[in-house]
Amino acid sequence: MSPRGQAARAAAQPVQQPVRRPTVQDVAREAGVSPSTVSRALHTRGYASPAVRARVQAAAERIGYVTDHNARNLRSRTSTSIGVLISDLRNPFYADLAAGIEEELRAAEYQMVLVNDNGDPAEEMQAAETLLAMRVPGVIVTPVTAKCPQVLQDNGVHVVCADREFGRATSDLVLSDNKAGARELTEHLIALGHTRIGMLIDETKWSTGAGRLAGFRAAHVDNALEIDEDLIAYTSFDADAARQTTRRLLNDHEVTAIISANNVLAQGALAELKDRRLKIPRQISLAAYDDVPWMSLVQPALTTVDQSTVEMGRSCARLLLARIRGELPPRRRLVKVPARLIVRGSTGPAPR
């Protein structure tokens, strides 16, 4: 790679890369003890006399010693890096999730290795392999396929699936109570007299979409309202698609309210309603699952379901760390994060 000609040149020039960092050896010399004593004094608890420990710590501080995680990880077969695998950091849902995770990990002196998989199975597997290579003890993932958590678990990595689930997964789970949240939201509209409510939804393969749709249905059943299946408007993942779908929904059917299954789709729906100059909520009500900041900035502010995304992230991290520390019984744990209805100005009585 770099034969000595190159190394020599590097040494001659003002290159700062090969700064020799102090090792336990250096600290040992400085403190007048053995390397193993340094190791114990610095990390393990109870195997060094207070005096020695203080002396070692002082010496370490003095010469600017910083543990080498690579060496520590290699030797002790543990790592404090946690993989976090999400679909799109630019979506505030994932950003909030990651923020919650990071907060909790940092408090426990763990690090977050964040990877975007763009919702692509291939990139997701790629990322999983990278995390295997890093020998992370655990991964938090919003899975795209069941294969990814599976492969990780097969290799002894603890996995927490966040936000969504696949039928046969065996990993720990942290989910929003999608069904309850969507049901509450739908009932709020029904209580306002709406009987023809459009449901804008992108997928129902995952528990996320499936749960929200189930809640939508349940609210209808509970209120003895028949569902016009045509009002369930399946769309794609992006806001533009949602806008087209909303357009079609409005053209082809009479609805007095629309529920968007997530924050991205809501953008498209809102754009279409505004474009048509429909008065919200006088002419049509709009509500969304997954509250994000812009929803309270628009006029009227949107009625939403807040799924406490940051807290969801914290839960993921807490659960994973507990699992890593062996504090949990073997069987998988499911954490349901409550969803909370927030009524704002975008929903009102049904017209006529």
Min dist. Cβ of residue 79 to DNA (A): 12
The residue to which tokens 């009479």 are assigned? 254
Using alpha carbons, select from 269, 302, 263 the residue that is nearest to residue 198: 269
β pairing state of 138-141 and 81-86? parallel
Residue 38 contact, options DNA, a copy of itself, none, Cβ 5-8 Å cut-off depending on partner type:
DNA
Min dist. Cβ of residue 215 to a copy of itself (A): 26
> Counting Cβ atoms within 10 Å, is residue 93 exposed (0-12), middle (13-18) or buried (19+)?
buried
Beta bridge partners of 257: 197, 285
Q: How many residues bind DNA (CB under 7 A)?
A: 38
Does 79 help bind DNA (rule: CB under 7 A)? no
Of 46, 167, 326, 330, the residue at the interface with DNA (CB under 7 A) is 46
Min dist. Cβ of residue 5 to DNA (A): 11
Q: Where are the alpha helices (DSSP H) in the chain?
A: 4-12, 24-31, 35-42, 50-63, 69-76, 92-107, 121-133, 147-154, 178-191, 207-222, 239-252, 263-275, 309-324
Residue 39 contact, options DNA, a copy of itself, none, Cβ 5-8 Å cut-off depending on partner type:
DNA
Does 80 help bind DNA (rule: CB under 7 A)? no
Does 5 help bind DNA (rule: CB under 7 A)? no
Residue 162 contact, options a copy of itself, DNA, none, Cβ 5-8 Å cut-off depending on partner type:
none
What tokens were used for 298? 């628009």
**Main-chain dihedrals φ then ψ at residue 32, nearest 5 degrees:** 70, 35
> Counting Cβ atoms within 10 Å, is residue 237 exposed (0-12), middle (13-18) or buried (19+)?
middle
* Identity of the residue, 39 or 307, whose beta carbon is nearer to DNA in the bound complex: 39
The residue to which tokens 């720990």 are assigned? 172
Min dist. Cβ of residue 308 to DNA (A): 37
Does 7 help bind DNA (rule: CB under 7 A)? yes
**Which residues in 49-78 contact DNA (CB under 7 A)?**
49, 51-53, 65, 67-68, 71-72, 74-77
* Identity of the residue, 22 or 300, whose beta carbon is nearer to DNA in the bound complex: 22
Residue 49 contact, options DNA, a copy of itself, none, Cβ 5-8 Å cut-off depending on partner type:
DNA
Q: What is the Cα–Cα distance from 287 to 165, expressed in whole angstroms?
A: 24
**Main-chain dihedrals φ then ψ at residue 121, nearest 5 degrees:** -55, -40
Q: What is the Cα–Cα distance from 152 to 131, expressed in whole angstroms?
A: 9
Min dist. Cβ of residue 30 to DNA (A): 12
Does 19 help bind DNA (rule: CB under 7 A)? no
The residue to which tokens 């409510």 are assigned? 197
Using alpha carbons, select from 175, 210, 153, 127 the residue that is nearest to residue 319: 175
Residue 114 contact, options a copy of itself, DNA, none, Cβ 5-8 Å cut-off depending on partner type:
a copy of itself
Q: What is the Cα–Cα distance from 191 to 185, expressed in whole angstroms?
A: 10
**Interface residue list for a copy of itself (CB under 8 A):** 1, 13-19, 21, 44, 64, 66-71, 73-74, 77, 79, 81, 88-90, 92, 95-96, 98-99, 102-103, 106, 109, 111-116, 129-130, 132-135, 137, 153-156, 158, 267, 270-271, 274, 293-294, 297-299, 310, 326, 330
* Identity of the residue, 41 or 97, whose beta carbon is nearer to DNA in the bound complex: 41
The binding site for DNA (CB under 7 A) comprises 1-4, 7, 20-21, 23-25, 33-44, 46-49, 51-53, 65, 67-68, 71-72, 74-77
